[in-house]
Structure formats: C-alpha cells, structure tokens
Amino acid sequence: MKQVLIAVCAVTLLMAGCSRKSKQPALLQATATGTAIVESSGGKQIGYAGMPLDQPVVVQVNDASGNGIAGAAVCFSGPSGVSFTPASGLTDSSGQVTSAVALGQQAGRYKIMASTRDASGKTIELNLDEIVLGYQQTVGAQLNAQYCVRCHDPESTPQRVSNMDNLSVKPHPFTEGDTLNKMSDADLVAIISHGGPALNKSPEMPPWGYTLSKSDIAALVSYIRAVADPPYEAGGLVYAQK
C-alpha cells in the first residue's frame, strides 16, 4: 500500500483569539489562556467517507493545576476535505469546546488538530486520530455488526446484549491491535473460516466458512486491519493527504 504523507492544515492562533484562511467569523476575543489542551471525547472514532462522525470532538483547555478554564480560544484543523462546526470557539465554563466533525472522501486515518496558546504566546496542539472506512472495510463493518460484535465487544447496548461474559475464553475486540496485529492475514482468514481450532485457539470461536463467502471474510479482515489500535502498519500507515 502506497505511503501517503500526513497533512494537517496550518492554524494561526492570536492572543486575542484565532483565525483561519477559510471562511470564519470575526476573531475570537479570548479572555484567558491555559497551559495544556486535552481530549475530553471524540478521538479514535470510526466513520465513513464524507459523513459526520457519530460523536462530536470535545477538547478542554486546562490551567497549570489541571483545571478547565473558561474563555480560551481553540481552533480545529485537519486534512483537506475535513470540516468542523464550529472551526473555532471559546472554552465554556468547564473549559471545553465542542465541534462536530465531517471527514473527507478518502479512506484511511485522519489526523485532526485542536490548538490554543499559552500566556507566553506559545502554540499548544492536540492531535487526534479518526478513521474513515473504504468500501470493503464498510462491508466488513456491516458483517461485524451482524455476526461478530456480540461476542467480540464486551459492551451491551439497548439493541444487543454482549455474550462475552458467557465465554470461558474471552474473544479479542477487533480494535485490539496489540494482539491481532501480530497475526497474518492468512491466520485471520483461517480462524474466521475454520474456527478457533484452526490456530489452536478456543473451540468457542465457531467456523464461519459455510456462512460467509471468501469476499465476506476478506472484508472482515480489511475491517479488522482498519480499526486496529495501535494501527496495523504492515502495508504502511495511510493518512489522508492534504
């Protein structure tokens, strides 16, 4: 897989606020500065080309004691095609700024950035990774939701009760890159097709080769590679380019 350069749009932050070359309202009138910017929520989401992420990105500006501060200016930026609503804002009473993010049309990992300035004028940056699934990976996501997630996801939802606690050997979540990245594509195909015993694993992992086609199984493998944390890098980590 071709290596693609990481690209992040530049952001200029002023002591009184922040500005961007894209269409923006008047400069933010910041009333405070912090010493750190941290993620509250919204990183490592899985999305689809050109579509908004399910959850907004929420970042927090803290003072030296780790407390959120109100009135600090924050700007969001990312690769070409990524949009933020809003693209900049002042932190609220809890020290947070929230932005809805729509990712670009290219599949891969997107590095987005939230930036602010400290009292000395130094830029402070926070980088977050988000994932856009391509067509094959989207098929894999749908198959995962239909056949796999009940056992491989420990969290229950109103629509689905997790079966993981009923299994004597706990299945690996598909995001568990520390373990699954060490397996080859052929290993993953074998265990999905023929069940756990194919790799001397638990027989509680059933064979799916009679239910899923070869292309279905390839799509599942592609999805597992796409969502791995830490990222799967065998073919070169692909970031969306500017």
Looking at residue 240, its pLDDT comes to 60
- State the pLDDT at residue 5: 27
Give the pLDDT score at 215. 98
Q: Is the pLDDT of residue 76 over 70?
A: yes
Q: Is the per-residue pLDDT at 148 higher than 50?
A: yes
pTM: 0.78
Greater confidence, 202 or 22? 202
Strand partners, 61: 37
The pLDDT of residue 19: 40
Among the listed residues 15, 39, 12, the one whose alpha carbon sits nearest the alpha carbon of residue 95: 39
**Strand 83-85 versus strand 57-62 pairing type:** unpaired
Work out the mean pLDDT of the chain and round it to a whole number. 87
Confidence of residue 130 (pLDDT cuts 50, 70, 90): very high
pLDDT, tens digit (0-9, with 9 covering 90-100), for 155-171: 888 888 898 988 999 99
pLDDT for res 14: 39
Rounded CA separation 208/220 (Å): 11
* Mean pLDDT across 222-231: 95
Tens digits of residue pLDDT in 84-94: 999 999 999 99
Closest CA to 60 of 28, 78, 84, 35: 35
Position 241 scores a pLDDT of: 57
How far is residue 80 from each of residues 13, 58, 97, 229, measured CA to CA in Å?
A: 19, 21, 22, 24
Neighbours of 235 (CB within 10 A): 10
Please count the other Cβ atoms lying within 10 Å of the Cβ belonging to residue 104.
19
DSSP label of 146: I
pLDDT at 107: 93
Kindly give, in sequence order, each residue whose CB lies less than 8 Å from that of residue 151, ignoring residues fewer than 6 positions away.
162, 163, 164, 167, 171
How large is the average pLDDT for residues 100-119?
Answer: 95
Q: What is the pLDDT of residue 131?
A: 96
Side chain identity at residue 188, one-letter code: L
Q: Where are the domains of the chain?
A: 12-133, 135-227
CATH 3.30.565.60, domain 12-133, yes or no: no
Q: State yes or no: pLDDT of 229 exceeds 70.
A: yes
CA distance 114 to 57: 10
pLDDT at 15 over 60: no
Helix (H) or strand (E) holding 225, with range, is helix 214-227
132 - beta bridge partners? Answer: 47, 108
Q: Return all residues near 202 (Cβ < 8 A) that are at least 6 apart.
A: 167, 168, 169, 196
**Percentage of the residues of the chain whose pLDDT score is greater than 90:** 77
CA 157, distance to chain mean position in Å, is 20
**Assigned CATH for 135-227:** 1.10.760.10
Phi, psi of 17 (to 5 degrees): 160, -150
pLDDT band, very low/low/confident/very high, at 7 (cuts 50, 70, 90): very low
Q: How confident is the model at residue 18 (pLDDT cuts 50, 70, 90)?
A: low
